[in-house]
Amino acid sequence: MSEYPTPPKRRHFLIKAIAIGATPLAVSAAPVTTTPAPAPAAMPPVPAGYSCFSPDEAAFVETMVNIMCPADSYTPNGVDCGLAVFIDRQLAGAFGQGAGRYMSGPWEPAIPQAGLQLPMTPQQFFSAGVVAANRQCQARHGKPFDQLDPATADGFLQALHAGRVTDAALPLPDWFKQLMYPLFEQACFADPMYGGNNGKVFWKMIGYPGLPATHTLDMVAYRGKPYPGAKDPKSIADFS
């Protein structure tokens, strides 16, 4: 609030810095200097079709979604399903840029139910996580994640999820479980207008009718039963 010269101290029960056992992220003020700061390094170009991914980030995410959603008789691979595009758009948009997120600290441990709290936006957390994951992948396998064979890449993701891959600079298991995996799930089942679920392929796979599922009476009448027209689900664009 405006009457405070600096943000008031947050209560311990409202925030969570990192998961137990992970190394905390240090937050410190920049030292005062009288010499000009060096010019920032040029940002790598964003690959065609993406809004914010760097080439390394695009390679990581494309490999990840193809491992987690391999092509089979039900769906194409994750990239062809639009999953990487969805994740990129979410991180480039209001969610990724931290709109409405408390960013003033202090960053103190809290109960797990408070959620992961870090001094960075989701997009910044994502970028730092890709660097940390590739660093650990390089240490274990001698190459970055996107260059692993599918079986090794799958094993790396399994170990990451189980908390067996950690990094001194970042809580990698939380990065995967609280940011990357939720984005993957949302990409699968979101309305196609947001970039994922191309061709409504996941809706068709599970028999979800799309927008008509908002009809409360239909939800009650057809609970546990095949919904008429579920083979031809309707998205937001179909009603525009």
E strand or H helix at 89: helix 83-92
Q: Per-residue pLDDT tens, the chain, 240 aa: give them.
A: 333 333 333 322 222 332 333 333 333 333 333 344 344 445 556 666 899 999 999 999 999 999 999 999 999 999 999 999 999 999 999 999 999 888 888 888 778 787 777 889 999 999 999 999 999 999 999 999 999 999 999 999 999 999 999 999 999 999 999 999 999 999 999 999 999 999 999 999 988 888 876 677 777 888 888 777 678 899 999 987
**pTM, whole model, 2 decimals?**
0.77
Residue ranges per structural domain of the chain: 12-23+45-206, 207-240
| CA 76, chain centre distance (Å) | 21
Interatomic CA distance for residues 134 and 23, integer angstroms: 18
From residue 53, give the alpha-carbon distance in Å to each of 47, 61, 78, 138, 200: 7, 9, 16, 20, 24
In order, the DSSP letters of 224-235 are TSPPTTTTS-B-
Peptide bond into 144 cis (omega under 30): no
Q: Is 17 left (phi over 0), alpha (psi -120 to 50) or beta?
A: alpha
